[in-house]
Amino acid sequence: MIVPLVRVLGRGFSPGGRHGRLSVLIYHQILAEPDSLRPDALEVRRFVWQMEALASCFTVLPLAEAIERLSNGDLPPRAVCITFDDGYADNVQVALPVLERIGLPATFFIATGYLDGGMMWNDEIIEAVRAAPAPTLDLRDIGFNLLPVTNLGERLRAVTMLIDRLKYLSAEERAHGVAAVVAGAAGTAPDGLMMCSEDVRHLVSRGMAVGAHTHTHPILRNLSLKQASREIGESRARLAEITGSPVKFFAFPNGKPGGDYDARHVVLLREMGFTACFSTAWGVATRACDRMQIPRFTPWDATPARFALRLLYNCMRTRPQVARMENSTIG
């Protein structure tokens, strides 16, 4: 029942042609099993039915084709793209087999500094808190209190608080804080959390696309413009070296317009020759959308019907938030 209903509603909420609206979904980790310390990470059972719902109710396009057809005014109705951020190994190990079985294309935005054995700072925090011996994690040396870690609920609260407090610090301050948390936990981090270079080549060999996501996933507004250019360029160059192909797409780390990046970075990316760049503002792209700030949507619903209907509702957001020059700090 839901499939024909969504298809009918979709022609109104997400028409094709010159009035086409492109939905771009954003995922991060796809876990084989749920993880209480990663509640926002999708586990594979839910990912499977989301992909099946997309295949049944929407038209899933490769990103390059979708951007071209958006510009040309010949998008099909209910047009959708699938993207992943950061470069987690489970994207290859868990998500890719699902995508291939259902026959769906996707694009993977990769922070290249964590390839081949690296780990993102937020994951270091999660794994340190997971390994910390009960009852408390002592972080008084870096200005935190004794954090209770006697059960999963307390560990999750500790993870959330630490990530929120460290996220917008300078790279040096954040690295110091992460090192203190890891030292206090005295645990051993798991290997293989992020992709290796061969995983990237494998994705491309299977018909998937890759895009740049900076080298070390910084908040771009915390950097000088020169540093931002270096982060973006290094990511693009490394991916081009691995794949042997030019890299045309970029996703902003964290991705909130005006908060995590500003109009200076939009200008920079346009000057660097990217075809399209992607934020994490909700909404859909139309022909009038800035190609350097295409919005993306994160689905979270627990049933296929609500998932499909929320995607249609998101199609009503045809004027997504963007970074504007008046909100930028020049320097």
Residue 2 confidence class, pLDDT cut points 50, 70, 90 = low
Task: Judge whether 199 lies within some domain.
Answer: no
pTM of the model: 0.95
Task: Judge whether 255 lies within some domain.
Answer: yes
Structural domain range at position 173: 121-185
Are 179 and 307 found together in one domain? no
pLDDT exceeds cutoff 60 at 330: no
**How many independent structural domains does the chain possess?**
2
Are 224 and 81 found together in one domain? yes
Residues whose CB is less than 8 angstroms from the CB of residue 278 and which lie 6 or more positions away in sequence, other chains included: 24, 26, 83, 109, 211, 249, 250, 251, 252, 255, 293, 294, 295, 296
Task: Judge whether 194 lies within some domain.
Answer: no
- State residue 163's pLDDT score: 94
The predicted model gives 74-92 an average pLDDT of 97
pLDDT exceeds cutoff 50 at 331: no
pLDDT exceeds cutoff 90 at 300: no
Task: Judge whether 195 lies within some domain.
Answer: no
- State residue 279's pLDDT score: 98
Are 257 and 229 found together in one domain? yes
Per-residue DSSP letters for 190-213? PS--B--HHHHHHHHHTT-EEEE-
Are 112 and 235 found together in one domain? yes
Residue 187 confidence class, pLDDT cut points 50, 70, 90 = low
The predicted model gives 259-271 an average pLDDT of 97
Are 81 and 221 found together in one domain? yes
Residues whose CB is less than 8 angstroms from the CB of residue 245 and which lie 6 or more positions away in sequence, other chains included: 204
Task: Find out whether the peptide bond into 15 is cis, omega within 30 degrees of 0.
Answer: no
The predicted model gives 15-24 an average pLDDT of 95
Are 72 and 220 found together in one domain? yes
Are 112 and 140 found together in one domain? no
Task: Judge whether 26 lies within some domain.
Answer: yes
Tokens of 12: 């109104």
Interaxial angle between packed helices 2-13 and 44-57, expressed in degrees from 0 to 180 and rounded to the nearest 10: 70
Task: Judge whether 196 lies within some domain.
Answer: no
Are 304 and 157 found together in one domain? no
Tokens of 84: 């992943």
Are 38 and 177 found together in one domain? no
CATH number where 289 lies: 3.20.20.370
What angle (nearest 5°) sits at the alpha carbon of residue 53, between those of residues 204 and 200? 15
- State residue 320's pLDDT score: 96
Task: Name the helix (H) or strand (E) containing 216.
Answer: none
Task: Judge whether 278 lies within some domain.
Answer: yes
Beta strands of 104-170 (E only): which ranges?
107-110, 136-138, 146-148
* CB 102, CB 80: distance < 8 Å: no
Are 230 and 294 found together in one domain? yes
Are 136 and 221 found together in one domain? no
Residue 4 confidence class, pLDDT cut points 50, 70, 90 = low
Residues whose CB is less than 8 angstroms from the CB of residue 233 and which lie 6 or more positions away in sequence, other chains included: 272
Helix (H, G, I), strand (E, B), or coil: what is residue 252?
Answer: coil
103-162 pLDDT, tens digit per residue, is: 999 999 999 999 999 999 999 999 999 999 989 998 888 778 889 999 999 999 999 999
